[in-house]
C-alpha cells in the first residue's frame, strides 16, 4: 500500500533553498581561509548551530539537552596498536534530565548514527531535528569513527602485504592470498568495531539501534555481526561493500523505477504487513538464479595503482597548503550549493577541516574494499548467518552504490521467515549517495517508520 508521506521539516530545511551559482572559492578567499579560517572544532560548531536543537532548544520545549563530548575509551592493544589514550567524539541529544536519559538507555531507546568514509558526525546535521521530533523518548548519539573527525586519530598500522593482488577473498579467478585478505579485513573491521564497543561500555548503554552510511554502513554491519546481542535494529544507508561482484540480470534503471511510486516513499504500517508481503510482489518474484553477471566498475590504471599503494585521496588536500580550501570548494560548493549560504559555508569549512586533519582511519578503506569499491569480504555473503536483528536498506534513486545488492540482502533476510529478522528495502526519490541530505524529510520518515515498527 502506497500513501503520501509528509516530510519532516528540520531547521536546516526551513530556510528557502536557492542554488548557489558560484563554482568555488577564489584563490584570495582560499588563502584567507587557510590562514584565518575556523578550526575543526569551530567549524563543527558552526554546522551544529544550524539545528534547532542547538540554536533554539525552546523549539522542543527544552525536552532535550545537547552536548559535544570526547568519550574516553579503552581498547585492547591487539585491536588498536597505540600507547596513547583514545576517545570517540560524539554529539549527544539526550533527555532533559539524567534520570530520563538513563531510563531511555535502559529501555533500548537509543539511536547511534555513524558517518561514512572521510566524513564526520556533522554530515547528519539536517536529520537531527526531524529524528528527535519523532523519537521524543529516545537518546540520539552521532559519533565520529575512530580515526575520523574529532575522534582520536592513532596511526593505522594494519599490514596489507599482498592484498593488492586480489579483489575478493575466495575468488576462484583472482585470489591467491585469501588468508592474507581475511586477516587484514578482520583486523581492520575490529579496529573500528572494538572502539565502538568500548564507547558503548563507557556510556553504559545496553542495546541500541545502529545506523551507518556508506563505509560506515559496512562497519555498522560488522559490529552487528560481532555483537548481535547489542543491536536492536540495523539501518543501512547506501552501504558500501554489499555486493559480491555479481548483479541481477535486471536493468538497474528499470529496477529502481519499481520503487519510485510517483516520487513517494512507501509508508510502513506500524505493525507491518504479513511476512510474505514484506517488500511487495516485486521482491517475492525476484529470481535468485538471475544473480549471475559480474558487476563492472571501470577503474583507471592510475586510480588502481594509488589504491593498491594505500595512498589516501585526502593527501592532496593536506599537501596543497593554501590551495586546499579551493580544492575542497570545488566539491563542497557543488555538493552543498543548493543549501542556504550559511549552511553551505559551514559545511564547506567543516569538510575542509575534516578532510585535512591528520590521516588515520581513512587508510582502512583500501583494506576493506578493492579498487572499484567491491568489498574483499562482501556483506551479501555474511548477512544470512550473522545478522540477527531487523534491518532496513536505504538508497537514493540516483545512488552510485549498488542498490540491487541491498535489495538482495533484504530478500535473503526475509526468506529466513522470522519476524524478528524482517528486512525492508527503500529507494528514496530525488536523492543520491548522500540520501539523508538530499531528501531529508522522506529519509527521516523511512527511518522513523522502521524504528517504530513492532517486531
Q: Provide the annotated active-site residues.
A: 214, 399, 433
CB 256 within 8 A of CB 428: no
CB 231 within 8 A of CB 381: no
> Which among 230, 239, 192 is positioned nearest to 210, based on CA atoms?
230
Distance CA 197, CA 442 (A): 30
Q: Which three cell numbers stand for residue 164?
A: 593488492
CB 406 within 8 A of CB 242: yes
Q: Which helix (H) or strand (E) holds 234?
A: strand 231-237
Distance CA 237, CA 440 (A): 13
Distance CA 438, CA 335 (A): 10
Distance CA 397, CA 227 (A): 32
Burial of 2 (0-12, 13-18, 19+ CB in 10 A): exposed
DSSP characters for 313-347?
A: TTHHHHTTGGGHHHHHHHHHHHHTTTS-HHHHHHH
Distance CA 328, CA 376 (A): 29
Amino acid at each position: 500500500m502506497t500513501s503520501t508521506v509528509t516530510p519532516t521539516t528540520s531547521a536546516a530545511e526551513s530556510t528557502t533553498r536557492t542554488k548557489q551559482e558560484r563554482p568555488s572559492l577564489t584563490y584570495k578567499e582560499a588563502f584567507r581561509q587557510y590562514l584565518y579560517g575556523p578550526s575543526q572544532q569551530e567549524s563543527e560548531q558552526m554546522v551544529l548551530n544550524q539545528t534547532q536543537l542547538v540554536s533554539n532548544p525552546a523549539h522542543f520545549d527544552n525536552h532535550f539537552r545537547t552536548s559535544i563530548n570526547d568519550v574516553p575509551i579503552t581498547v585492547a592493544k591487539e585491536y588498536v596498536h597505540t600507547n596513547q589514550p583514545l576517545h570517540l567524539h560524539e554529539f549527544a541529544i539526550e533527555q532533559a534530565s539524567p534520570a530520563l536519559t538513563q531510563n531511555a538507555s535502559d529501555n533500548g531507546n537509543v539511536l547511534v548514527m555513524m558517518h561514512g568514509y572521510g566524513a564526520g558526525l556533522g554530515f547528519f546535521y539536517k536529520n537531527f531535528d526531524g529524528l528527535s521530533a519523532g523519537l521524543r523518548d529516545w537518546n540520539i548519539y552521532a559519533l565520529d569513527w575512530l580515526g575520523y573527525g574529532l575522534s582520536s586519530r592513532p596511526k593505522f598500522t594494519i599490514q596489507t602485504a599482498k592484498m593488492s593482488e586480489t579483489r575478493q577473498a575466495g575468488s576462484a579467478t583472482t585470489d591467491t592470498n585469501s588468508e592474507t585478505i581475511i586477516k587484514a579485513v578482520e583486523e581492520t573491521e575490529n579496529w573500528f568495531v572494538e572502539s565502538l564497543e568500548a564507547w558503548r561500555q563507557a556510556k553504559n548503554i545496553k542495546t541500541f539501534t545502529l545506523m551507518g552510511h556508506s563505509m560506515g554502513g559496512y562497519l555498522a554491519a560488522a559490529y552487528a555481526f560481532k555483537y548481535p546481542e547489542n543491536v536492536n535494529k540495523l539501518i543501512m544507508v547506501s552501504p558500501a561493500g554489499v555486493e559480491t561482484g555479481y548483479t541481477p540480470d535486471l536493468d538497474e534503471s528499470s529496477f529502481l523505477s519499481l520503487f519510485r511510486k510517483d516520487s513517494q516513499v512507501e509508508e510502513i504500517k506500524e505493525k507491518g504487513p504479513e511476512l510474505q508481503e514484506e517488500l511487495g510482489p516485486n521482491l517475492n518474484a525476484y529470481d535468485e538464479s538471475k544473480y549471475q553477471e559480474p558487476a563492472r566498475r571501470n577503474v583507471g590504471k592510475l586510480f588502481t595503482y594509488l589504491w593498491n599503494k594505500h595512498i589516501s585521496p585526502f593527501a592532496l588536500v593536506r599537501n596543497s597548503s593554501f590551495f586546499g580550501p579551493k580544492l575542497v570548494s570545488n566539491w563542497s560548493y557543488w555538493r552543498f550549493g543548493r543549501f542556504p549560504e550559511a549552511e553551505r559555508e559551514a559545511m564547506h569549512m567543516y569538510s575542509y577541516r575534516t578532510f585535512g586533519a591528520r590521516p588515520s582511519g581513512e587508510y582502512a578503506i583500501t583494506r576493506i574494499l578493492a579498487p572499484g569499491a567491491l568489498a574483499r569480504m562482501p556483506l551479501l555473503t555474511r548477512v544470512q548467518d550473522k545478522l540477527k536483528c531487523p534491518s532496513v536498506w536505504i538508497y537514493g534513486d540516483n545512488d552510485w552504490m549498488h542498490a540491487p545488492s541491498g535489495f538482495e540482502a533484504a530478500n535473503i533476510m526475509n526468506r529466513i521467515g522470522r519476524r524478528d529478522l524482517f528486512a525492508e528495502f527503500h529507494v528514496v526519490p530525488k536523492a543520491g549517495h548522500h540520501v539523508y541530505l538530499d531528501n531529508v524529510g522522506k529519509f527521516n520518515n523511512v527511518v522513523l517508520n522502521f524504528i517504530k515498527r513492532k517486531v
